């Protein structure tokens, strides 16, 4: 059963990305307009639920430091540590949602959302093929309708899955 979708004004989102503060830095700083449901945090990285998810449990993972280029701004150790966090979060998302496929990709550009971040998005089982891949990630097709309680519930489930994985 698919979850209800709400239209999203993509122009407002674009304006926020291009004209507003860095959303990851604002999230790390816990600015009131940029609060997200945190699911992971260590000294160097954060993972938080996407405020406008296109699939349930969509998480963004980023370094806390304002880094913009995935290839040239990280040394080997930083890159491997970041990717270990991305993998840990992706495995926890899989534990909770049992997706057909888990998409892991880095988006953004110098023109908007320049802070390096990875999207971890579990494709719900049974999603029709023409609604998979990039289609499933595009806010232009609407975002999931969810309450703050829904966010907190899925956030707790993913945090608990991360704890189980790190305790093993």
Instruction: Return the closest-CA partner of residue 62 out of 53, 73, 148, 54.
Output: 73
The average pLDDT across 27-46 equals: 95
At residue 2, the pLDDT reads: 59
49-98: per-residue pLDDT in tens? 999 999 999 999 999 999 999 889 999 999 999 999 999 999 999 999 99
Taking the CB of residue 58, how many other CB atoms lie within 10 A of it? 23
pTM of the model: 0.92
Length of the chain: 168
Q: Considering the chain, what percentage of its residues have pLDDT values greater than 90? A: 72
> Does residue 85 sit in helix, strand or coil?
helix
Domains along the chain with CATH numbers = 5-167 (3.30.428.10)
Contact by Cβ (8 Å): 3, 141 = no
* Strand partners for 46: 41, 62
- pLDDT tier for residue 122 given thresholds of 50, 70 and 90: very high
Helix axes 148-167, 76-97, angle to 10 degrees: 120
């Amino acid at each position: 059963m698919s979850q209800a979708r709400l239209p999203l004004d993509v122009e407002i989102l674009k304006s926020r990305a291009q004209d507003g503060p860095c959303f990851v830095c604002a999230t790390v700083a816990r600015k009131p307009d940029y609060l997200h449901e945190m699911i992971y945090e260590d000294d160097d990285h954060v993972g938080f639920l996407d405020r406008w998810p296109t699939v349930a449990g969509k998480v963004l993972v980023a370094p806390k430091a304002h880094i913009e280029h995935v290839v040239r701004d990280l040394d080997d150790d930083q890159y491997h540590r970041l990717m270990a966090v991305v993998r840990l979060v992706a495995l926890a998302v899989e534990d909770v949602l049992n997706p057909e496929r888990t998409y892991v990709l880095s988006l953004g550009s110098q023109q908007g959302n320049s802070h390096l971040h990875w999207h971890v998005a579990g494709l719900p089982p049974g999603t029709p093929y023409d609604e998979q891949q990039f289609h499933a990630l595009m806010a232009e097709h609407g975002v999931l309708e969810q309450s703050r309680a829904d966010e907190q519930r899925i956030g707790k489930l993913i945090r608990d899955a991360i704890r189980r994985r790190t305790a093993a």
